[in-house]
Amino acid sequence: MFELYGCDRPRLENPDLLRDFLQQLPPRINMTAVSPVHLYDIRECTDEDDNGLSGFVIIAQSHVSVHAWGPYHELDVDICSCQPFDYDVAVRYAKDLFGARDVEIHTADRATRSERDLARDERAQLNAAETRERELEPVGA
């Protein structure tokens, strides 16, 4: 997750730019979009300054979402993924695209006890053991 501060307000209020960002970010971080981009112009907030554009795209690895507040010059981006990725690539791309002056980054490890990851680790250990056994076999055996 990261927040961009000091962004260019017209860029944050440009639905085409936000839509493009959501379409172009997944391949930049080696993810695969599996849904169209969904973007909403939120105008129901009690405080008008809290209105803005919010959207998401579902990726094979989970999702990417954005929340843009023009009056606050702020963009919040959440990338939820079960696949590791280089968040610096995502932050640099967003920072350049929206003209941000400052960024705040938060990371979290998810599903640290997932059976999926345990099964993957067990397969990796088995593969490593098989490789070691092959390396120890006498030549011509």
Q: What DSSP string runs through 33-49?
A: B-S--EEEEE---SSGG
Phi and psi angles of residue 31, each rounded to the nearest 5 degrees, phi first: -115, 165
Query: Which range of residues forms the domain containing residue 14?
Result: 2-136
CATH number of the domain to which 60 belongs: 3.60.90.10
Cα dihedral value 124, 79, 92, 26, nearest 10: 80
Reported pTM: 0.78
For 1-36, how does the pLDDT look when each residue is reduced to its tens digit (9 = 90+)? 999 999 999 999 999 999 999 999 999 999 999 999
Domain membership of residue 141 (yes or no) is no
Predicted confidence at residue 21, as pLDDT, reads 98
- For residues 100 and 34, the answer to whether their CB atoms sit within 8 Å is no
Domain count, the chain: 1
Return the structure tokens found at 126: 């088995």
pLDDT above 80 (res 120): no
